[in-house]
Amino acid sequence: MRLTNRTLQLTASPIAEAHAWLAHRTGDRELLDLSQAAPGYPTAPEIAARIAEVAAEADGGRYAPPPGLPALNDAVAAELSADYRAPVPASRILPTGGCNQAFCVTVSALTEPGDEVILPVPFYFNHDMWLKLDGVRPRYLEPVDATLLPDPSRAAELISERTRAIVLVTPANPTGVTVPPETIKSFYELAAAHDIALIVDETYRNFRLTDDPPHNLFAEPRWEDTLISLHSFSKDLAIPGYRVGAVVAGEAVIYEIMKLVDCVQISAPRIGQEAALAGLRNARAWRSEQAARINRALVRFREVMEPEPGGFTLATAGAFFGWVRHPFCDMATDEVIKRLVLDHDVLAIPGTAFTPTDDRWVRFSYANLDLEQLDELAVRLNEMTP
């Protein structure tokens, strides 16, 4: 049989490729795994208890209603309304099989092959992959300075008659950069002026260093005409395997997205929705504790990277991520990753997964390391001298 070029042109998941090197390790030193931004700790006891209950219930394995469990939609709406200090109706929320699915079905509802979507660089690799699989051209929005913040004026230069959306991820995967509310507002105004969508992936919104609203767009009187906000419960509640996220959008967009979800998954898994509901209702203190712990890890990560161990230079850090430049000018970044794994027992992701060119970047997901392991990271990077 013949495989489609749309898949053949793509590389496999960089996480899977990095993990493949683990089979070639020969030492017995503890692995420092900075590869994946999924929690390595168990979920809250309240959530685990509810998961066990659902598994034993008569309808626990059945499909959830396609629009989502009403109680979950109400709980999400209440939390978003409080956190953004603006009303977000439950009818504008659609649970999905994780935030990745939320992005994919949103893009497919907005675009046709040959259309364009503006994607800030560094991008989240699955976003870039899905656009290409859908026959949509990514228009790469390069940063203008060392802050790595996307620039609305530069985005305006990329808009064409085929542009259908602008994507923002905040806090960003892979850089950890949080886009300020005023910048998000500028992108919103740009998108509205051109009658295109602004897709804001807010997977890591609860891992910011502030309780201020991530943006004020839900207070806009016609936000549904432009904004599509994507959310995840995977990181916040430590349930990535239960696959539950959400799209927040206007009624017409939700209606079209539901058609796509029906073809892919019918509905987000019931047990995942029940787990998310239990977390929103009963695990707020636990969620705050985890966010505080990860923020402490961020402080230590910045401290250990400040002396530039082994010549590795920290550019930005936040949420789960550190965006680091390696010092090996004559070595491909994939080879650097290989050496880190095989010689120094450090697993990370090459920046080439997030950029169209190799500019010597590495993504470190530090959030699963404890403080002693972060200190050890600096020791091992110092071993790897140019």
Claim to verify: residue 347 and residue 367 sit in the same structural domain: yes
Q: What is the pLDDT along the chain (386 residues), one digit of tens a residue?
A: 766 676 666 666 667 676 777 766 777 889 999 988 888 889 999 999 999 999 898 888 898 999 999 999 999 999 999 999 999 999 999 999 999 999 999 999 999 999 999 999 999 999 999 999 999 999 999 999 999 999 999 999 999 999 999 999 999 999 999 999 999 999 999 999 999 999 999 999 998 888 899 999 999 999 999 999 999 999 899 999 899 999 999 999 999 999 999 999 899 999 999 999 999 999 999 999 998 999 999 999 999 999 999 999 999 999 989 999 999 989 999 999 999 998 899 999 999 999 999 999 999 999 889 999 999 999 999 998 76
pTM of the model: 0.93
Q: How many domains does the chain have?
A: 2
Q: What is the pLDDT of residue 181?
A: 97
Q: Which residues pair with 361 in a beta bridge?
A: 325
CATH assignment at residue 338: 3.90.1150.10
Claim to verify: residue 28 and residue 70 sit in the same structural domain: no
Claim to verify: residue 138 and residue 240 sit in the same structural domain: yes
**What kind and span of H or E run contains 318?**
strand 313-318
Rg of the Cα trace of the chain?
21
Claim to verify: residue 135 and residue 231 sit in the same structural domain: yes
Claim to verify: residue 239 and residue 330 sit in the same structural domain: no
Q: Read off φ and ψ for residue 267, nearest 5 degrees.
A: -160, 165
Claim to verify: residue 127 and residue 244 sit in the same structural domain: yes
Cα Dmax for the chain:
61
- For residue 174, what are the domain limits? 45-282
In 3-state terms, what secondary structure has residue 353? helix
Using a 10 angstrom Cβ sphere, with 0-12 exposed, 13-18 middle and 19 or more buried, the burial of residue 369 is buried
Instruction: Produce one character per residue of 173-207: b if its CB has 16 or more CB atoms within 10 Å, e if not.
Output: bbbbbbbeeebbbbbbebbbebebbbbbbbbbbbb
Q: What is the pLDDT of residue 41?
A: 86
Q: What is the pLDDT of residue 29?
A: 87
Using a 10 angstrom Cβ sphere, with 0-12 exposed, 13-18 middle and 19 or more buried, the burial of residue 282 is middle
Distance of CA 346 to the CA centre of its chain: 22
Distances (CA, A) of 18 to 194, 220, 287, 339, 348: 40, 43, 30, 11, 7
The 10s digit of each residue's pLDDT in 175-186 is 999 999 999 999
Contact 333, 352 (CB under 8 A): yes
Contact 230, 199 (CB under 8 A): yes
Claim to verify: residue 264 and residue 290 sit in the same structural domain: no
Q: How far apart are the first and last CA of the chain?
A: 46
Claim to verify: residue 205 and residue 334 sit in the same structural domain: no
CATH assignment at residue 230: 3.40.640.10
Claim to verify: residue 245 and residue 328 sit in the same structural domain: no
The 10s digit of each residue's pLDDT in 86-128 is 999 999 999 999 999 999 999 999 999 999 999 999 999 999 9
Using a 10 angstrom Cβ sphere, with 0-12 exposed, 13-18 middle and 19 or more buried, the burial of residue 38 is middle
Claim to verify: residue 113 and residue 242 sit in the same structural domain: yes
